Amino acid sequence: MGTPREQETQIPVGAEPAHPVRAARPRAADRRFVPRAAQRDHRGDARTHLGRLGQILVTRWLYTTAVKCLGASLLAALILLGGPALAAEVAVGHHHLLYDFRGGLYDAGVAILHGVSPYRPHFLAHQVAIMRAGGIAQGETDQYPFSIPVYPAMANVAVVPLSLLPFWLSGGVYTLASVAAMLGGIWLLGVRDRRCYALIALSWPFLYGIVLGAVGPFLVLGAGVAWRWRDRLWPPALAIAAIVAAKIFPWTLGAWLLVTRRYRALALCVAACLAITIGAWALIGFHGIVQYPRMMSEMSFLQEGRADSLVAVLLVAGVSSGLASALAILTAATILALAWRLIGRPDGDRRAFGLAVIAALTATPIVWDHYMVLLFAPIALISPRVCKLWLVPVIAPLMGIGSAALVPVSTKLQAYSPDVLRYALSCLVAEAVIAVCLCTTSEQRVAWRAGLRAPLGRSGAPTGKATGAASAS
């Protein structure tokens, strides 16, 4: 006999209950009782699983950290050593120290001091005739370069005071002036972050221009003056007039005055540019003024096939020279049209100025690596503090040069060869990246990246939002 509850639940052997019988509820003491051995086994399994999970997490963290450290080290080595090493190789290995300054500016100043023409149109005509006859002309390849005065008269007259000095002294003064012009131009564009100046100083375009004695830093200074005092009349007009009179291809900055409706500044800029140009030619007795347009055409014919420009890419693709130049100008006009569309939007003036600089590099048929210093101007307007975008002009030319380690250069000495693409495409990609950043806001770029990642989850299956949008459609 048991308790009354036990008697109610007892069923004779072999008999089936007339109705379902609910099992007796276990006592609290029975529910709490777990053998000690089982407890130890359960805790041991939990510790084992936690240990394995910890090992996996630590391993992944170490792997991710190692990859990031390796990437950062390679990037730092590329930035710290790539540009200076290449600049030293050009200066010492190829004996091109101040090569452009001596042949293109210093010799022109000496010729002006002697009362003779600084230009050599017959030399260019002879090289073009050799090239058209099937031979290898000077300037057509990297193996046979030349440097002669081809700058407009304004640049040649401006360097006459330096031509009074010995070459080594004038070269040192010119180099110091170039460095000051580059840093001053970036400062006028609103950059105060010292890391930005360090990246510029270590970049291949800047160092290459300093080694050759190019005029790129002075163009950056002119752009900085035009932007810093853009709300005034005289400073932007005179600055743009000076750099256009010295190098011609930054004429798109004058178009920036037009699209931003600075009509008085544009009129003053045109008048000042004409006055500077005519006055400079008058100072040298108008030597070469009649032959100069033909010289520019022959210079483009000689060197556009191995430049880093859009025209060079089109020429390699088989497009004729005239059509390639027309397409480049059309592309630059499209960029200026985008600048005009951005004027009415927030920060439109800043974006339009940056796009005008990109358009200048797009339209010209001859672009060299040291021209890329101009890309620092729109980058400074996008972000006055260091960011990933500041690395674009630093890394892009080095990627083109470093690609020779992966794909050997087989036809480097021939113009219009596919090897031109390795250098030209890297510069064009850098220009395109900066142009996209100018045409969009940071919020739009973040939304685009999120939209690209949204359609697929971690396992590759559509996410809930994508599925819902698909079913709703």
Q: What is the pLDDT of residues 72-111, one digit of tens each?
A: 555 555 556 555 666 666 656 555 788 899 999 999 999 9
Give the mean pLDDT of the chain.
81
Task: List pLDDT tens digits, range 364-396.
Answer: 999 998 999 999 999 999 999 999 899 888 887
Q: How many residues belong to the chain?
A: 473
Q: Inform me whether the pLDDT recorded for 46 exceeds 50.
A: yes
Number of neighbours of residue 421 by Cβ within 10 angstroms:
17
Question: Which amino acid makes up residue 83?
Answer: G
Does residue 472 surpass a pLDDT of 50? no
- Label residue 1 by pLDDT band (50, 70, 90): very low
Residue that wins the pLDDT comparison between 418 and 161: 161
Q: What pLDDT does residue 71 have?
A: 55
Tell whether the model's pLDDT for residue 41 goes beyond 90. Answer: no
| CA dihedral sign of residues 303, 205, 118, 284 | positive
What number is the average pLDDT over the span 335-352?
Answer: 91
pLDDT classification of 406: cutoffs 50, 70, 90 = low
Which pLDDT score is estimated for 467? Answer: 40
Query: Each residue of 306-319: pLDDT tens digit?
Result: 888 999 999 988 89
Predicted local distance difference test score (pLDDT) of residue 455:
58
Range 346-354 average pLDDT: 92
Backbone angles phi, psi at 456, to 5 degrees: -120, 135
- What percentage of the chain exceeds 70 in pLDDT? 70
Count of other CB atoms within 10 angstroms of residue 363 = 24
pLDDT of residue 301 exceeding 70:
yes
Q: Which residue has the higher pLDDT, 423 or 173?
A: 173
> Residue 202 and residue 195: Cα distance in Å, rounded?
11
pLDDT at 307: 87
Q: Which residue has the higher pLDDT, 82 or 413?
A: 82
pLDDT at 471: 38
Q: Work out the average pLDDT over 205-232.
A: 94
Looking at residues 434-440, what average pLDDT do you find? Answer: 92
pLDDT value, residue 437: 92
Alpha-carbon distance of 227 to 266, in angstroms, equals: 14
Summarize pLDDT for 101-146 with one digit per residue, the tens.
999 999 999 999 999 999 999 999 998 898 888 877 776 666 677 8
Q: Which tokens sit at 461?
A: 């299956």
Q: What are phi and psi of 462, to 5 degrees?
A: -60, 145
Better-scored residue on pLDDT, 468 or 22: 22
pLDDT > 90 fraction of the chain, expressed in percent and rounded: 51
What is the average pLDDT across 443-454? 72
Rg of the chain on CA atoms, in Å? 35
